[in-house]
Structure 1
Amino acid sequence: MQASLTRWLRPALAGATLLGSALLAGCGSDDAETRSIKVGTMSGPESEVMEVAVNLAKERYDLDVEIIEFTDYVSPNAALADGSLDANAFQHAPYLNSMIEDRGYDLAVAGYTFVYPIGAYSEKHDSIEALPEGALIALPNDPTNGGRAMILMHNSGLITLDDPENLEATPVNVVDNPHGFEFREIEAAQLPRVLPDVDLAFINNTFAQPAGLQLEDALLREGPESPYVNLIAVRAGDQEREEIQQLVSAYQSDEVAEKALELFDGGAVPGWE
């Protein structure tokens, strides 16, 4: 009987010991838990700018921030909405609003970053006046950045839109095209690659700078008055979360502004000043 009881108690006691150890270990990990968040950015110089904010967040607030890089404009909001990210920093308000409307995301603005002006570049022509009749013009295929290009052309007198206040204008909104321009809508990240094959391409500075294109060389470009300031987006309700506000504070710093000036050669204007 004693031997049987001993055989029965031994694994039970061992299990209790392991459970107790696990509970103690769990308590210890809670006490020593490191505060951390994940933020999504566009791969390239925008990530390099964010790295400065990451280092400042660690130095000033002991906050660990992991950067998750993306190469398209759709995935960062999907990842934020499903909880894979705590924040993202790559888009302006018109684009965020269109994604919220189209996809039902419950997202909000936590802070502002930079204006990255869009420009029209050409490898075939030295000026807008040199564009031939029927020129092939490449546009970003996402609604708001495509709209930026259309409005810039309207404001420059190249075309006439039915509503120049429509931030999501597309070629179907052109009511007068006196030069017979042909438009091709292409994913924003691919526009530098098609530049040799078109007469003109409207390229976000996010993708222009890594491709060796300087905003000063653009045949058309937005000015500093552009309403398209980029932002840090979060899930609705997280705007005042301590870690998020610390990330925003670290980003809106002189150090980050100086890094952006270096990387974008004047093509990034602080949107928080």
Structure 2
Amino acid sequence: MRNTVKITTAVLAAAGLTFGLAACGSDSGSGSGSKDSASDPLVVAASPTPHAEILNFVKDNLAKKAGLNLEIKEFSDYVTPNTATEDGSVDANYFQNQPYLDDFNSKKGTHIVPVVTVHLEPLGLYSSKLKSADAIKSGATIAIANDAVNEARGLKLLAANGLITLKSGVGNEATPADIAKNPKNLTFKELEAAQLPRSLADVDAAVINGNYAISAGLKPAKDALVLESAKNNPYGNFLAVKKGNEKDPRVLKLKKLLTSAAVKKFIEDKYDGSVIPSF
């Protein structure tokens, strides 16, 4: 995934101030939140869609009244938001789910913790060539994410819809090697999650994360051949910080705003079932 960052001039200036403060942080490495006052900007790393859109709604409509100075930095990859939160370059992030974070912390030695779950983006199977999952032919090529958690999640979606059968007891690190039955002899093309929408012209179908599907103009609730169920789903996306910063007054303000009735209505109205509030 390319670390493409969209930063407005205002955000760049605010981020520069935050970076300077973080460099002078305490030896505990708890990040910028433990040092900044409640009036300083809270800099949040986020995926462009829907995370940054939801944060911008909060910034434009709710933050000022709540006394929160909110700045948003957009990243298109799934790595930089966590590493930036860990090193104090940003105060928080909003883009990921618990299985992904658990895997990231374990492999990278980071100390990121969730604050509050905000929404679910159902994972979907999409195709520019086929109208239904039943139309997938023997030998078809399916593109899936190449990071551990999203690859397993994609395989579980295919299994839940009868396209493959996974080995018993397979967890959140499943790969195509863990397929027990593949009746249609599907071939899997493993790509970075952000590249999956662009792969649709080259494969028969692709399992795409909700945020990347929406960014590509797809409507999960309408366009997906099969869509992940929201019931008992562990993949809700949350606001996260470095451990020790959970009680930062600015973080607590954002936590309250992100789970407000106004944000719930915004999500329901704007995304029409393609993004689902989790509160």
TM-score (norm 2): 0.82
Offset of 1:56 from its aligned partner? Answer: 4.8
| Structure number with bigger Rg | 1
2:154 matched residue in structure 1 = 149
SS at match of 2:150: helix
Q: Deviations over 1:98-135 (max 9, x none)?
A: 00000010111111110000000011111111111110
Q: Distance in 1 between matches of 2:38 and 2:128?
A: 53
Compared with structure 1, are the counterparts of its residues 109 and 141 closer, same or farther at alpha carbon in structure 2 (3 Å cutoff)?
same
Compared with structure 1, are the counterparts of its residues 256 and 164 closer, same or farther at alpha carbon in structure 2 (3 Å cutoff)?
farther
Residue 177 (structure 1) aligned with residue 201 (structure 2): no
SS at match of 1:189: helix
Residue 77 (structure 1) aligned with residue 82 (structure 2): yes
Judge which range, 217-226 or 79-88, deviates more. 217-226
Judge which range, 142-151 or 89-98, deviates more. 142-151
Judge which range, 103-112 or 260-269, deviates more. 260-269
Q: What is the RMSD of the two structures over their aligned residues, measured on CA atoms?
A: 1.6
SS at match of 1:105: coil
Q: Distance in 2 between matches of 1:264 and 1:144?
A: 24
- Residues 38 and 250, structure 2, Cα contact 8 Å, conserved in 1: no
Alignment-mate amino acid for residue 106 of structure 2:
E
1:105 matched residue in structure 2 = 110
SS at match of 1:94: helix
Gaps of 5+ in 2: 1-36
Aligned ranges 1:1-273 → 2 under 5 Å: 34-56=39-61, 58-163=63-168, 165-215=170-220, 216-225=222-231, 226-272=233-279
Count, aligned residues: 241
* % identical equivalent positions: 37
Moved over 4 A (4+): none
Task: Give the helix-richer structure, 1 or 2.
Answer: 1
- Residues 119 and 203, structure 1, Cα contact 8 Å, conserved in 2: yes
Compared with structure 1, are the counterparts of its residues 33 and 245 closer, same or farther at alpha carbon in structure 2 (3 Å cutoff)?
closer
Q: Deviations over 1:69-104 (max 9, x none)?
A: 001011100110110111100000000000000001
Judge which range, 52-61 or 41-50, deviates more. 52-61
Alignment-mate amino acid for residue 237 of structure 2:
N
Gaps of 5+ in 1: 1-31
Q: Distance in 1 between matches of 2:261 and 2:181?
A: 45
Offset of 1:257 from its aligned partner? Answer: 1.9
SS at match of 2:173: coil
Offset of 1:231 from its aligned partner? Answer: 0.7
SS at match of 1:117: coil
Q: Distance in 2 between matches of 1:164 and 1:205?
A: 26
2:10 matched residue in structure 1 = none
Alignment-mate amino acid for residue 211 of structure 1:
A
Q: Distance in 1 between matches of 2:49 and 2:156?
A: 27
SS at match of 2:196: helix
